[in-house]
Amino acid sequence: MITDYEYPPKKRDSILMKPLDDGAVLYEPETESVHTLNPSAAFIWVYCDGAHSIGDIIELIKKQFTDFEQDPETAVFDIINKFKSLDLLI
């Protein structure tokens, strides 16, 4: 489980992303798996580039989104840990 604000999540290069009006779809060619992302998860996915830390992503998402069902820090960690559990990150 990732809990470090300094950790720079990096998506696997093989994962393809198709932006949608209300989020995005990720496709894993190796496994032919499809993952649907809501707008905030799609936003976070874009910044899982290895150059932005989780702390950076939290600050970016706070600026982009104002209506959160849960604490934005918790949401970012939950989403990044979900990406990790689905083997979408390296």
CB-CB contact of 86 with 47 (8 Å): no
Q: CA 90 to CA 84: how far, in whole Å?
A: 8
pTM recorded for the entire structure: 0.90
Q: Using CB atoms within 10 Å of the CB of residue 80, give its burial: 0 to 12 exposed, 13 to 18 middle, 19+ buried.
A: buried
Q: What pLDDT is stored for residue 67 in this prediction?
A: 76
pLDDT in tens, 56-65: 999 999 888 8
In this prediction, residue 81 has a pLDDT band, given cuts at 50, 70 and 90, of very high
Q: CA 54 to CA 35: how far, in whole Å?
A: 21
pLDDT in tens, 20-79: 999 999 999 999 999 999 999 999 999 999 999 999 999 999 888 877 767 889 999 999
